[in-house]
Amino acid sequence: MVNTSKIVSCLLALGLVDTSAASYDRTNQTVTYAPIFKEWREEGTNENMTMTATFDLVNSNYVYLYEDANYLHKRTAISVAVEVATILGGTAGVIMAAESALDIYEYIAGVIKTKAEQESCTLTYGTDTADDAIEGYAYKAMTTKTNCGTTAEKKTIDTAVKKCANELHEAGATRGCCKFRYGDGSWYGHLRLTAEPKKYPADTVNC
């Protein structure tokens, strides 16, 4: 089996940046796209956070993004199209942008921070609501060391969750997943979000 995350990191390491190969398959009702990659450092901290966002379900109103090869190219540093998402009807929910559901995303960031303090590598999932907004989430940390603690501060995790939501929102994703990596690369956080927690739940993380 091809391990896509390995391919992606190799390409990044070699600096192979090419035009995006986003595409829309009308027959199969799928879109193919390159994962979205971001790297940043929070002010006043010493380590970088990286985020790789992918999604498996996309709202049909956003299909035009994948027909326009230039659009995704502007937003990603990764050259190869290695992910496929299924197109849903236009009434399917789309993951909310950060500003539209701040309480929800700060709550999820709090869950991540608490689990890091507990050095917990277990899966947590649920649904959070604020006003009329609803979002399903699943979160699990992984590590190459012995526990899933991280020195990432709450503000860094807040930013990570918001960037994840914003990227998935802009992509028109109904369900998506962000893999975060902090500092020396021993800690990984996997966060899955869904705008349709009943129909398309987030109860595993697989990104």
Ligand X SMILES: *[C@@H]1O[C@H](CO)[C@@H](O)[C@H](O)[C@H]1NC(C)=O
The residues binding ligand X (CB under 6 A) are: 25, 27-28, 39-41, 48
| Nearest Cα residue to 171 out of 91, 96, 81 | 96
- Residue 27 C-beta: closest distance to ligand X, Å: 4
Q: Cα(69)–Cα(42) distance, rounded to whole angstroms?
A: 31
Q: Output 40 or 64, the one with its CB closest to ligand X.
A: 40
Q: Output 81 or 134, the one with its CB closest to ligand X.
A: 81
Q: Cα(45)–Cα(47) distance, rounded to whole angstroms?
A: 6
What sections of 68-190 are H helices per DSSP? 69-75, 102-117, 154-170
Q: Cα(7)–Cα(3) distance, rounded to whole angstroms?
A: 7
Cβ 95 vs Cβ 195: under 8 Å: yes
- Residue 34 C-beta: closest distance to ligand X, Å: 18
Q: Output 25 or 99, the one with its CB closest to ligand X.
A: 25
- Residue 124 C-beta: closest distance to ligand X, Å: 28
Amino acid symbol at 47: E
- Residue 6 C-beta: closest distance to ligand X, Å: 18
Q: Output 26 or 198, the one with its CB closest to ligand X.
A: 26
